[in-house]
Amino acid sequence: MESVQHYVEQLIDLTESDATQIDNLSVEDARDLILRHPAQEVIQIHGSFALVARRGKTVRMARSLDRPMRYFLAKQKQGPALIVAHRIDAIYSWLKAAGLDGQFHPSYTRMVPAHYVVEIQLVGCPDPDPIYTRFFAPERAMLTPDLDQIGEAYITALAGEISQWLCRVPETAPIGVCFSGGIDSGSVFLTTYHVMRKLGMNLGRLKAFVLNLDDGPDLQQARAFLDALGLGLFLEPIEADVRSLSAQETIRITEDYKALDIESATMALALCRGIRERYSDWTYLIDGDGGDENLKDYPIEENPELTIHSVINNQMLYQEGWGVGKIKHSLTYSGGLSRSYTRTYAPAHHYGFQGFSPFTRPALIAVAESIPFVDLTGYDVPKLYDLKGEIVSRGINTLTGLQMPVFPKRRFQHGAVGVDALRQRLPYQELEYRKQFLALYS
């Protein structure tokens, strides 16, 4: 009689479940929901999470857009071992300690894509493909083309997310806004200020931190933004030396090599390092990451793969990339902000901060996806670029009564430091960055 191989499967969960921030469920209840309920019900988990749950040989994983989650399936004689972690280096360290690092290459790790439940069956060789089931699918173009109504809906959702977050933060803890005076960080600051006042919170807890490297233009813009509203006392510049910028350090911390994200993350590291050096016990930061993705405010002409039709017509293109099941979707990194959010998460985590990006929450994305972009732009690129300032400023005015200044779009890395000085420290060389990343494991 032919013998039957019985495998003993392992699940090694290296995620930081104690850092999960769920507003409406316990971690165990959230895991149970992921494991035992239809994937579409995972949208009921409100907050920031990256969770893995197991029943027998079935493992399910899900995460929010603002929290990375990776896995690696290792082979052992007794059966498969699934290692799940936030970081590639954590997976590698476990494999090395277990004597299994010979199986490892960073490209063999897999990113759980945001907004999906990923199901894996630990049945041994051959391993079946994971099953991806979407749990967040907002309706598109449902709002009327009324900018006042759209702005009100968008900023009301922003205020709701910030209010829930503030109520979870200890009542005496200081709140730092990563600030540039741009549309996203500006609206986050003004909404945070408004909500804190409305809830009777001490505004002395609030600061607007702006990074200044080599007299970058953001400092002047941030000061002009707040001074125009009589709120200049909240501004606190964080000075840093441009010589401290290191692409190699950023690549190690973010575990990525995309040039624009490395530049942005390098600025985030400088800002977080400066805040940490000044305030050893500061914990809570809030930022505007995700705002550009929601309102489709990236220069289309800088990416030869994109047209205004692809940007407007593809669901959550900037949040998810081309999407699961598409040829250009990266199994190692996923796509869009699902991949690139490490530019924000990793620097804050590295320096011991708890960050919050309200624009990444489904409530904000759902409003953004419901905007009738075709009706409002007629596929005209300049009209698309103008929409964000119109929508956000109108919404802020409706919510707070404040006339929010709107400045031309500028990337984080181009505002903190002059472009020439940036290029001297961070040459735009993605191929070289990729080599540096792979060298970490060679």
Render pLDDT for 227-285 as a digit per residue (tens, 0 to 9).
999 999 999 999 999 999 999 999 999 999 999 999 999 999 999 999 999 999 999 99
- Residue type for position 270: A
pLDDT above 70: percentage of residues in the chain: 98
Q: Does the pLDDT of residue 327 top 50, yes or no?
A: yes
User: Which structural domains are found in the chain, ordered by start?
Assistant: 10-134 (no CATH), 147-439 (3.40.50.620)
Report the candidate in 416, 376, 413, 410 with the shortest Cα–Cα distance to residue 394. Answer: 376
Q: Which residues are paired to 54 by β-bridges?
A: 59
Predicted model pTM: 0.95
DSSP string, 167-201: HHS-TT--EEEE--SSHHHHHHHHHHHHHHHHTT-
Residue 1: per-residue pLDDT:
37
Q: What is the pLDDT of residue 208?
A: 98
Does the pLDDT value for residue 323 go beyond 70?
yes
Model confidence pLDDT, tens digit, residues 148-205: 999 999 999 999 999 999 999 999 999 999 999 999 999 999 999 999 999 999 999 9
- Per the structure block, which two tokens stand in for 249? 């350090």
pLDDT at residue number 8: 58
